[in-house]
Amino acid sequence: MTDVQMQDANGHANGSTAYGKAAVNGLLKVGSKPAAPKQTNKEDLQLVLQSFRLLIADLCQQFGMEGVGCEALSYAGHLKLNNLTVIYDNNQITCDGSVDLTNTEDVNKKVEACGWEVIDVMDGVNDVEGIVAALEKGRDPNRTKPLFINVRSIIGVGSAVAGEAVSHGAPLGKDNVAAMKKVYGWDTKKVFHIPDKVKKFYEDIPARGEKHVKEWNDLLAQYSEEYPDLAKTFKERMAGKLPDNWASMIPSSFPSDPTPSRKSNNMVVSNIFAECPTFMVGTADLTPSVNMTWPDYEIFNPPDLKPISGKKGSYKGRYIHYGIREHVMAAIANGLAAYSPRTIIPITSTFFMFYLYAAPAVRMGALQKLKVIHVATHDSIGAGEDGPTHQPVELAALYRAMPNMEYIRPGDSEEVAGAWKRAIEYDGGPTMISVSRQAIPQLPRLTKRDGVGKGAYVLQEEQEAVVTLISAGAELSFPVNVAEVLSEKGVKARVVSFPCHKLFREQPLDYQREVLRRNEGIPAVVIEPYVSLGWERWADAGVNMKGFGHSLPGKYIYQYFGFTTQGMAGKIEGFVTDFRDGKVGRGEFVEL
Amino acid sequence: MTDVQMQDANGHANGSTAYGKAAVNGLLKVGSKPAAPKQTNKEDLQLVLQSFRLLIADLCQQFGMEGVGCEALSYAGHLKLNNLTVIYDNNQITCDGSVDLTNTEDVNKKVEACGWEVIDVMDGVNDVEGIVAALEKGRDPNRTKPLFINVRSIIGVGSAVAGEAVSHGAPLGKDNVAAMKKVYGWDTKKVFHIPDKVKKFYEDIPARGEKHVKEWNDLLAQYSEEYPDLAKTFKERMAGKLPDNWASMIPSSFPSDPTPSRKSNNMVVSNIFAECPTFMVGTADLTPSVNMTWPDYEIFNPPDLKPISGKKGSYKGRYIHYGIREHVMAAIANGLAAYSPRTIIPITSTFFMFYLYAAPAVRMGALQKLKVIHVATHDSIGAGEDGPTHQPVELAALYRAMPNMEYIRPGDSEEVAGAWKRAIEYDGGPTMISVSRQAIPQLPRLTKRDGVGKGAYVLQEEQEAVVTLISAGAELSFPVNVAEVLSEKGVKARVVSFPCHKLFREQPLDYQREVLRRNEGIPAVVIEPYVSLGWERWADAGVNMKGFGHSLPGKYIYQYFGFTTQGMAGKIEGFVTDFRDGKVGRGEFVEL
């Protein structure tokens, strides 16, 4: 390894660098008071800045351009996050050249317009004291706004490519690293060498860290004596513990009349949300649609904010109005989850289709195995009038393919209960609970909440079956009705509920065979108004969407696309005959 | 139908309303001079405003919050689009309540910071003259900035729910519509009734339209006489015609040494881009990586902009530096494509993984069947060091599932030629050409550009084969090498190149059987370092990714995840044996 390789390994956006880990694991301790700034002189600080520059020369100019950055800027200013400081490494360089090739906005004015305070550091290369002074201003507890430090820097300073785009996208190379060291008065021959003066500057870090830990532990001990109940709660929250009885807060049964599964969601979780402060629940401006509130919920907002609508909040609030900002909603939820496992369990919510806007952050949550629960409503063409812009047909393929993500489509209130039980228990990544806008039939003698955790289970067995019908979510009653019609025609069908691909994929082969019975020669047909991609693994044929949806009221749209009981029964009967007669080639998935 | 239903059918974001179509089909004619404003009086204008209000009460407050809006704002200001006017229907209402619940930024200041001029209309309910005056200012050809008209409006004005969130998300209902009509002095009993005064105001529209068309035709006739060559070009462009010889600008052969397919892209299209002004090519700040430039390309930028990097441009330029704004890049490309079919063919480019940021706009292009070509490089774990944040494993599932989208992974330069040939010919929606960062082997005696258009084709036939190996893109050489090793072990394998799911799905069943031969009992194994989801339709087993990637240099990463020739050959040999011995159940996809 050389300096150059290390630079490369620390490329932008790589997430968990050694730095990040150190910060999380030891140097920063939750709740600790800011330590008194260490006495330093300018020379020391310059040296430290140099050593950082040699370690990570690759910083980004994305802030202010990328949409999610703008969403964060706008919302953080609104929330008056006075303990947030952003250092803007304003080197005016992107991969393509100088930033002004594509961005000439007045960044300070834009940031101020969003409710931030701005401090300029005009000479970010030399004015180390200016940077430190600005950072210290960010620690002032009397602040009322987040702080934006606009540091004018020069990328690759000291090298032959200083201030050029090539310093951003490519490793500097041996010669340029040596040139930088020469400018700094360092030994140009040594690589991965930390000069003694730098080491010396940092040598008291372990001792300081120990001191912080001790102070913290003493404070907590004192607190525990004075406030034993609060201290117990605090420790349980930090240990990620939910109340022992959380699962019993889920109703054991549900009304049997048709219910939108987005309303079932509320019946299942509103008690848990009300009782367990672990849950931070938010929505991207769809409160009336997503049904994620609970009685007397409090809004997370600055306490001095007096909205026109009269909905006041406080920083104790656990309901977050993210605004029409899906992407940053998911990103903030990741941050809440990353703080400490299960100390906060963040819930996001919007229409399923709008999780395409949030997808890059949802993916980062999956990559980092963060426990976030995404609530996606209006998850089918059944959403109706809003039309194909709001009707997902291909999006499930993304979330079913995404590693660590459990995308669950529960088929009635009972299965909604199972989906939440699994989601609250699952620690391997995010969950997406995908529910319906429209009322859907309840299947009280058929559905089983414990079946959801296995991904799929037999809803209706039929020993002599010649076909297995598979479905999920809002359309789970479809195969039940189709099976009845087929039975009248003498075609015996069994029915499988299949709420989650990932969970079923992880079951033992024996269980999979027991559920699907394809190894007994019984073909499977899936009914789902998404495109078929992904179902071909579990079925031999499908009644699926072949293109985008259409703007029609819910009661007409299924008919328009052929999802009628009689229509589907006819197609499936034809398929069963073709299959029996050997007209379907091995491994050939048939679109019905 | 009632007023209420019509409101509902015109819900936000629905795209192609009757209004939009009327505007595109007749009222606005490309290139026509702005007509002199019609003489109107305040009363007339108020009436028109009322009729619009009754038709569409559902307008959005998304601008300023949603990331893509901020990207557009920033870039339009940079480009100094002096013929762009945005009317901000500032009604301070979202679904959740008043906007200040989640957004308290100074919108005017933010917009000005992005290089726009702002005009306030403080009383958007009554000050119709103010709105008209602002709109007329927007038509001033001497403007130097885009114009933002901040109209303070009251949602649902005249109804009992005026200024309330419920007017946004739900139909107003009969009583409220009647209340509005009463306030306006309209007949409250009549529904879908256009008062005579409104009709009269609009009655000269057909005649004005005819006049515009005649003026335009006369102008074009005069222009054609004065500038016959330019007029010919203009007419061909408007007819969507490319030069007859465009396909012959693609080289007939390519160098045989290993080549990154992102570089093959440039070999294939740089002549076409240079010669055909139809193509508007852009990138989200990855010019050095995507290889989409051509000799002497000109940048699209304001002519008076003098960037620090010295890269000047003009409005004649056809190369667009979109900045780090993937989402709006795809949205703008949609707009360019929607202008008129094939008059402009927009090309976007970035890393494949970053097309997740652009996905909502890419989807809107697919929904509207817009001809946009997206160039996605670094499309595999082979991208290397940048790690799992940059290594797609699940994203292909989204684009393979998206209706109308052709996601193509060409396997060498010859297939890259085929991918572009298909993309330029395809008029049913967008194409994504997915290429490699790293050099990949060329297969000059095997690959066929015309095979790409069929989605899949036989790369190496073997009559006595016991297994078919399938692959695509950067890894197409893998099955060729594996087949050789298997052959040494006496296991005869044939190889299929499979660059595009959609194109193969659309082939006749006979062709599909000829290529895959699964109906002859030969199992197929896919080799692709994405997750398997979607391949189960075409294969019985797969060597695929089971989770996210890893940060490793390209030469180590395939090894790390088991994509070595010997390793894969061993697994596949085992599978072939299991398959022959009946250990693989019918329809059971095996992850190797």
pLDDT at B52: 60
Per residue in A479-518, is it b (16+ CB within 10 Å) or e — as a string? bbbbbebbeeeebbbbbbbbbbbbbbbebeeeebeebbbb
Report the distance separating Cα A317 and Cα A489, nearest Å: 58
B301 touches chain A (CB under 8 A): yes
Smallest Cβ–Cβ distance between B288 and the set A95, A356, A532 belongs to A95
DSSP state of A416: H
pLDDT at A63: 67
Pair A115, A77: CB distance under 8 Å: yes
Residue B299 in 3-state DSSP? strand
Please report how many Cα atoms fall inside a 13 Å half-sphere around the Cα of residue A242, on the Cβ side.
Answer: 19
**Which residues 273-292 of chain B have a CB within 8 Å of chain A?**
283, 285-289
Run of H or E including A571 = helix A565-580
A357 touches chain B (CB under 8 A): yes
Smallest Cβ–Cβ distance between A519 and the set B95, B534, B586 belongs to B586
User: What residue in A sits closest to B366 (Cα-Cα)?
Assistant: A548
Degrees to nearest 5, angle at CA B67 with B66 and B68 = 95
Degrees to nearest 5, angle at CA A432 with A430 and A438 = 165
State the catalytic residue, choosing from A117, A326, A415, A475: A326
Smallest Cα distance from B78 to chain A, Å: 6
Listed as ranges, residues in chain A with pLDDT below 50 are: 1-37, 56-60
pLDDT at B226: 96
Report the distance separating Cα A436 and Cα A272, nearest Å: 21
CB within 8 Å: B397 and A299: no
B115 touches chain A (CB under 8 A): yes
Report the distance separating Cα B96 and Cα B102, nearest Å: 9
Report the candidate in B65, B104, B73, B117 with the shortest Cα–Cα distance to residue A116: B104
pLDDT at A585: 87
Report the distance separating Cα A342 and Cα A371, nearest Å: 7
**Which residues 160-189 of chain B have a CB within 8 Å of chain A?**
165, 169
Q: Which residues of A touch B285 (CB under 8 A)?
A: 94-96, 102
Q: Which residues of A touch B518 (CB under 8 A)?
A: 585-588
B89 touches chain A (CB under 8 A): no
Run of H or E including B221 = helix B205-226
State the catalytic residue, choosing from B112, B203, B210, B326: B326
> Chain B interface, mutation test: which of A59, A70, A351, most B Cβ atoms within 10 Å?
A70
User: What residue in B sits closest to A299 (Cα-Cα)?
Assistant: B101
B66 touches chain A (CB under 8 A): yes
Smallest Cβ–Cβ distance between B285 and the set A94, A389, A400 belongs to A94
In Å, what is the CA distance from A381 to each residue of A435, A573, B223? 12, 25, 50
Smallest Cβ–Cβ distance between A585 and the set B101, B501, B513 belongs to B513
B243 touches chain A (CB under 8 A): no
pLDDT band at B199 (very low <50, low <70, confident <90, very high): confident
What pLDDT digit, counting tens, does each position of B465-478 carry? 999 999 999 999 99
User: What residue in A sits closest to B322 (Cα-Cα)?
Assistant: A102
For chain A, list the domains and their CATH numbers: 3-211 (3.40.50.970), 246-440 (3.40.50.970), 454-591 (3.40.50.920)
Residue B126 in 3-state DSSP? coil
B389 touches chain A (CB under 8 A): yes
Smallest Cα distance from A271 to chain B, Å: 22
Report the distance separating Cα A106 and Cα B324, nearest Å: 17
Smallest Cα distance from B248 to chain A, Å: 31
Q: How far is CA A482 from the centre of its chain?
A: 37
Cβ neighbour number for residue A130 with a 10 Å cutoff: 17
What pLDDT digit, counting tens, does each position of B326-379 carry? 999 999 999 999 999 999 999 999 999 999 999 999 999 999 999 999 999 999
Top pLDDT among B346 and B37 is at B346
Report the distance separating Cα A509 and Cα A296, nearest Å: 47
The helices-and-strands tally (H runs, E runs) of chain A is: 23, 21
B113 touches chain A (CB under 8 A): yes
pLDDT at B48: 64
pLDDT at A57: 36
Smallest Cα distance from A551 to chain B, Å: 8
Could you confirm whether B326 is annotated as catalytic?
yes
B97 touches chain A (CB under 8 A): yes
Report the distance separating Cα B306 and Cα B476, nearest Å: 45
B368 touches chain A (CB under 8 A): no
CB within 8 Å: B533 and A533: yes
CB within 8 Å: B67 and A70: yes
Cβ-count burial of A151 within 10 angstroms (0-12 exposed, 13-18 middle, 19+ buried)?
Answer: buried
> Chain B interface, mutation test: which of A104, A538, A550, most B Cβ atoms within 10 Å?
A104
CB within 8 Å: B533 and A400: yes
Report the distance separating Cα A557 and Cα A328, nearest Å: 33
Tokens encoding A244: 């022992």
Q: How many pairs of residues across A and B have Cβ atoms under 8 Å apart?
A: 344
A322 touches chain B (CB under 8 A): yes
B579 touches chain A (CB under 8 A): no
Q: Give this prediction's pTM.
A: 0.92
Smallest Cβ–Cβ distance between A398 and the set B69, B397, B546 belongs to B397
CB within 8 Å: B588 and A323: no
CB within 8 Å: A521 and B586: yes
pLDDT at B180: 87
In Å, what is the CA distance from B545 to each residue of A381, A443, B533, B536, B548? 31, 37, 10, 14, 7
Tokens encoding A185: 């008065």
Report the distance separating Cα A415 and Cα A424, nearest Å: 14
CB within 8 Å: B67 and A309: no
What pLDDT digit, counting tens, does each position of B400-418 carry? 999 999 999 999 999 999 9
HEC string for A295-309 = CCCCEECCCCCCCCC
What pLDDT digit, counting tens, does each position of A527-550 carry? 999 999 999 999 999 999 999 999
Cβ-count burial of B225 within 10 angstroms (0-12 exposed, 13-18 middle, 19+ buried)?
Answer: exposed
Report the candidate in B116, B113, B35 with the shortest Cα–Cα distance to residue B82: B116
Q: What is the mean pLDDT of the segment spanning B141-157? A: 92
Report the distance separating Cα A381 and Cα A562, nearest Å: 12
Residue A327 in 3-state DSSP? helix
A102 touches chain B (CB under 8 A): yes
pLDDT at B63: 67
> Chain B interface, mutation test: which of A287, A533, A548, most B Cβ atoms within 10 Å?
A533
Q: Which residues of A touch B585 (CB under 8 A)?
A: 513, 518-519
Q: Which residues of B touch A391 (CB under 8 A)?
A: none
CB within 8 Å: B96 and A359: no
β-strand B467-471 against B439-440: which pairing, if any? unpaired
Q: How far is CA B592 from the centre of its chain?
A: 35
Smallest Cβ–Cβ distance between B78 and the set A104, A403, A545 belongs to A104
**Over 50: is that where the pLDDT of B10 sits?**
no
Report the distance separating Cα B452 and Cα A420, nearest Å: 45
